[in-house]
Structures are given as structure tokens and as C-alpha cells.
Amino acid sequence: MKSITVELADRSYPIFFCPGLVTGADRSEQALLAAAMGDSVFIVSNETVAGLYLESLQKLLGDRKVDVYIMPDGEVYKTLDQIDAIIGKLLAGGHTRETTLIALGGGVVGDVTGFAAAVYQRGVAVIQVPTTLLSQVDSSVGGKTAVNHPLGKNMIGAFHQPKMVVMDVETLKTLSPREFSAGLAEIVKHAALADWDYFQWLQANQDSIMARDSASLMTMIEWSCRIKAEVVASDEREQGRRALLNLGHTFGHAIETLSGYGVVLHGEAVAMGLMMAADYSVRSKTLSESAPVQLAQLLTGFSLPTTLPKGLIKADFLQAMQRDKKATAEGLRLVILRDLGHADVTNRIDDEALEATLAWFLEGGARRG
């Protein structure tokens, strides 16, 4: 069994790679979960994932007291109403600070469960069991938890690190093609911001990745998790370097908010945001003209969009960007590319370049892609 440790002093935790554990194909590592929790467990899942893996997970927990909350499926349900419902069931079930919450599902389930764990009785333990590609390589690692507000994505939340993350690559076999591709956007982001060798590996292995070859998936997920774990360990609360992980997200979150949560998947919005960030970087003269072409080819090969939905308005788009969590008192901050594999954070915004990027994409362009 492979593992990675997110090094955060007394809040350090492992990421375990356990193919077959959640799906029930291989239970050789089931003691992992048993050793990490007390006698009381509260599982949060959604209608889709629960039908696939809830029974299998419950079998790993033995004779513990287990309560379950099944939330509706979709980004539109990533709300305070769900937090209230979870806390209500925790209280009704007599759960104490010794209870361990388990998030069984994708990014929405992980974010909602993590935030509920952060605020219930001022904080209880949570274990992330991500079942989508996006949640395995991104949202389950790093301790960011949140729900959405009508005016902005992830605006209500807390930093709350999990006790562990348990990944079963076999759960990815049941993802729809659209959901699988959405997860690949975060992987492309990791390569583009931090590792040119990884970017080249993705280019060379597109076919096996899209075929969901288990060995390729394991290599890819572990590579992305190592990048994210290292960045999080260096800047847990996003005071500096961790902001690099938001490459494409200032644009992407605006797309999600304005389109309506769930209409555009998060990974799809990130793919569009990556193209906008690359375009802005070219226009502000930090990136070569050839880089967006390579980026667009990789995203397109992973069945991801590189153009924006129709009907978005520039004034609304700018306003949504300015509400972004990464903005400071000095104004907007953007993650820019200096090369594929090298990103920087800047608050020195080239207004002319930004206006040109917005005009180009909102009018239906996809730069040199």
C-alpha cells in the first residue's frame, strides 16, 4: 500500500492509496479505518454514491455505532441548509466530540462534511473517502471546507484538516465520462503550475488515462497528491504559496457563479479558467505564445471545454472576480503562468490585458487553441 503524508506538525495526516478497499474488491487494508476512529461514526454521502459504496464502507466499520446522512447530489446542494440538516441529525443521534465524520463521495460531499466537522461542537474528526477524480486529487487534500453563497463560491467555510484520506482508484470506474474529465482539469492545473515533467507525462499518456487504465490513474493521482501535499505543507492557510493552487480559479469561480451552480461542473470551469489565465499571461507578457496552444491541446484531449458558455456579461464577470476570496484590500489577485510548470501570484493587474482577455473569451474566442 502506498501513502503520502501531509506534513503539518501536530495536524499531519496520511493519504492512503488502497485500490479495492471502498469497492469491496480488496479488504486487506480495512484495519486502517478501524484504527482511526472511536466507537461512534457519522457517514455523509449522496444519493448516487451511497447506492454504490455505502454498504461496502459500513462493513469496514465493524460493530461501531454508525449513523448516516444522505444528501441530494449536486453543487446546488452545497449550502448552509445541508450543514443545518447534518448538525440536526448529529444532535438527535447524541453524537459527541468523540464522533468521527466520514465523507463518502465527491467534492461537494467532502466540502460539506468537512465544514460540518469543523463547526460541530467546535470541531470533530473527519475522514475523507473521495470517490471522484476531482476530489481525490484536489478537494479531499488540504483541509479547505466550505459551502456556497448565491453571490460567490465557497464563501462560507473553514480550514479543518482531515484525520486521514483514503483513496480507492477503483471508484473512478463508475464515474460518468463528463465527471471523469472534470477531474482531469485539476490535474492539468497541477502540472501547469508546478511540474513540466508531469505536463509532458500527461501529454504522452492521454490515451491510457482516458481509458482509465488503473496503473496510469494511480501514477497520476499520486503525482498530483504529492504536488498538493507539498504546497499545503508549506502554506496551510493560504497566506502565500498555496494561492498558486488557485490557477484558473478566479476566472473559473466567476463562470460557475454566473452560470448557476451545477450547470457548469467545477472542473469544466477550471479548464476554461486555465485558458483565460494563460491568455492573460500572454497578453501581460509573462508567457510565450506557444504555451496556450499546448494547454488547449491537452485540455481538449481530455474532453474539456476551452471556451465559455454564451450569455455571460463582462461587468458581471468582473464583479464576480472581485468578490473572489483571493482578492485583498489592494484589489484583485491572479495566478499567472511564466511557463508551463511555473506559476506566480500577482496583484499587479494589467487592466488592459485583463479587459482584452475578457472581451476575447466572452465573445466566444479560445486563444490560439
Residues taking part in catalysis: 122, 144, 186, 228, 238, 242, 246, 249, 253, 266
Please state, in angstroms and as integers, the Cα–Cα distance from residue 85 to each residue in 69, 74, 95, 198, following that order: 9, 16, 14, 41
| Exposure string for 2-22, b = 16+ CB within 10 A, e = fewer | ebbebeeeeeebbbbbbbebb
State the Cα–Cα distance between residues 123 and 100, nearest whole angstrom: 10
Of 80, 164, 166, nearest to 125 by C-alpha is 164
Extract the C-alpha cell encoding 196: 513540466
SS3 337: strand
Nearby residues of 4 by Cβ (< 8 Å), 6 or more positions away: 14, 15, 222, 225, 226, 229
Contacts for 284-287: CB closer than 8 Å, 24+ residues apart: 284/336, 284/350, 284/353, 286/336, 286/337, 286/338, 286/344, 287/336, 287/337, 287/338, 287/339
Amino acid letter at 255?
I
Return the axis-axis angle of helices 196-204 and 290-301, rounded to nearest 10°. Answer: 50
State the Cα–Cα distance between residues 227 and 266, nearest whole angstrom: 20
SS3 324: coil
State the Cα–Cα distance between residues 74 and 70, nearest whole angstrom: 12
DSSP string, 122-150: G--EEEEEE-SHHIIIIITSS-EEEEEET
Residue identified by cell 476566472 is: 251
